[in-house]
Structure 1
Amino acid sequence: MGKLHAFRGEMLSVDEDPLGLPEGAGLSYQADGLLVVEDGVIVARGDYASLATRFADVRVTVLDGLVVPGFVDAHVHYPQMDRIASHGEQLLDWLERHIFPAEKAFSDPAHASAMAQAFLGELLRHGTTSALVFPTVHESSVDALFEAALARNMRIASGKVLMDLGPDGLKDSVESARAETEALIARWAGRGRLSYAITPRFALTSSDAQLALAGELLAAHPDVLLHTHLAENRHECAAVAARFPDAADYLDVYDRFGLVADRSVFAHGIHMSERMCARMGQSGAGIAVCPSSNLFLGSGFFNFGQADRHGVKLGLGTDIGAGTSFSMLYTQGQAYQAALAREERLDPFRALYLATAGSARLLHIEDKVGALGVGQEADFVVLDSAATPLLARRCAGAGLAERLFAMQILGDDRVVSQTWILGECAWDRNV
């Protein structure tokens, strides 16, 4: 038996999607809880009063705040961090003007390494412990991210971007994409808490031959994800329809190359037809909803009701750098407002689910993280509902749902007082 470490505090997780369930169903909550960890894995969780005697000899750390699972960012671009808050343009113009020039710098391994360290530091500061991350087309950008994540024991999925139709200095070939992807999978997949994702940027930046290659790689490696973009912007959708006139729709483009499967994560999915949603639900593929990015680029508001009717798996992503905050709390608040723009209601507990267990399910790591359940890894965050004077006033005397919602709407990195990875403190606001 390894060394035990217990944590005492107010604890909340949303273990299953509460949509359509009776009020309170799917939640696990202890006003005064105990979480017991052995070698980074949770071995017990429950009310302190019921577990205290059993673990009387175990060292206890008291956590001051609301303890929730570490956030899982289902779509984020680490090379775009320094282009966050870049003014002007919708998606395609924004990529050409701001993003592609920034990504070309990642041909320098030293630059990629420095950015990876800064990026992971921002994730932890904002309470994010797991993420599905876009690097660049450069093999070294993946190495840099995985090396930094391995050193921090973070659960990160990523993979070299495929884009043989990209601009000069930011494109590969079918042959180099195959060789470099296979080498990266062999080098990194399954090491520590790392996993791999086949990553065509989007339909317009890969040739038919490269999209076919992506499908071959996905089929050949049953443990990897597929990570790409889908139906984010109307101009993008029109360009895809013009290039693939025989396809039924945007999703069908990917489907023709074997890229629509239960391991497929599509970012955005704003402009979806009923057929697209039905096919996605049937396939088991899912959508990383990125409300902050969608608002910033003028792309639109995600249709939660449509996706829910077809049983589409959903998670939340910050989509840095089109997204305007690393905070998954802020992203939950933005998701509420995006739903409201379509006259739909996003419950604060469901928003928390989408940012934790929902995103974990999307990334096929729901058995590992997302719910603070026995057998899961001890990644958790301590939230301070009195982090700012305004938040403290709003939360004074408030119930659990009201406090959670206030933190989602008014919160940011200041609300995260501590971030824990495998039962070890990886970020402390006061240190």
Structure 2
Amino acid sequence: MSVSDSIQQAIDYVNANAGRFVDELFDLLRIPSISAQPDHAGDVRAAATWVANRCKAAGLTAEVVETKGHPAVIAEGAQAPGRPTILVYGHYDVQPEGELALWNTGPFEPVIDDGKIVCRGAADDKGQAFCAILAAEAWMKTVGSLPINLKFCLEGEEEVGSKHLDELIRAHRDRLACDYVLIHDTAQFDEGVPAVTTATRGLVYKEVIVRGPKKDLHSGSFGGCIANPANVLARIIAALHDDNGRITIPGFYDDVVEMSAEEVEMMNSLPHSDAALLAELGSPRTWGEAGYSTLYRRWARPTLDVNGIYGGYMKEGSSTIIPAFAGAKISMRLVANQRSEHISRAFDEAIRAIAPDTVKVEILDHACCDAYLADVTSAGMQASRRAVEAGFGKAPVLIREGGSLPILPLLKDVLGADSLMLGYCLPTANIHSPNEFMHV
């Protein structure tokens, strides 16, 4: 039997069982496996058990593996000596629901609306990870043994920074050994424009707390003679960018590598429109580092963003106080060749240099990971591009991802394996937002 005949048999199996597969995915989506909330720990474990059992039903061996936090699932197919080994990485945990009033249906009550499965986790990442399990089942149920060595590592803590993934990977290094890692936790470029993702950005996440008086003060009695932590925090934040959108932290751009001319040419050929993006997002105009296009800034330039600000009186009405403290949570996205440890230190030094001696500043570390850049000339990358073209009927474009996947540099470091990122969902799939979806 030819390879094309084998592939067609697997596709026919999927089509014949599509209704059952959707029903099964709905069962998984109904489990509110919110890893960030302790009261959902039981649901996270239930999802892990469901995934392990479904892997077994597909014909794989599978085990729920304990960590110091939420468990992971490790599964694998029968051995294929002399064949390449692919490790599929994904996650079964999900983000919190967010603002319930913004959901058109219950966040954990999956429905099909206009050809879309709408539910938390439909795209990120239950739906996409489930596709890989179904692909393995379809091949094994029709053709027989897999043509490669196939392994799965599906974790339950991706949405909280993969806190124990490092320990898990190192503890099971031999079991997870592979030639390439296959990841579906990314997206196509646009509807009808399949893509292979070649890079992700790194992350440094900080919290800056500015402290002044030991308690809130009357602004009439003490305003003008005691520094206001909220005012100071605002000045610190404002000082982190110049008027051209460039980050002012000394040394921040020292190790940044520009995209190649070939990458820029391909990027510029993509069907992107700033006007369409603004219409979708509801923003009045774009903003960012001068001299770079919107896509370039999203993919290959480092950024600094305030994710939240707190302090002072926030309830209804008014209260004329000088708050005792104010804080901000700040994330920095890094690009290839920047080291997260270096940027973390540079940020701390810059904040302390900006802050006046009229306040005390505390800086907390929340997350840190490096960027990842794939070798686009590797055999695995070329095979990925051929596979996407065969599946979608058109050659994929090469794109970068503005978000972060901490597992990528970890897998490269521990397993020595490059990652292949092939996503099925759309960039408009409302990941981390209300009404998350994936097309059926």
- What TM-score do the two structures reach when normalised by structure 2? 0.27
Bigger-Rg structure (1/2) = 2
Higher-RCO chain (CA-CA 8 Å, sequence separation at least 6):
2
Q: Larger helix proportion, structure 1 or 2?
A: 1
- What TM-score do the two structures reach when normalised by structure 1? 0.27
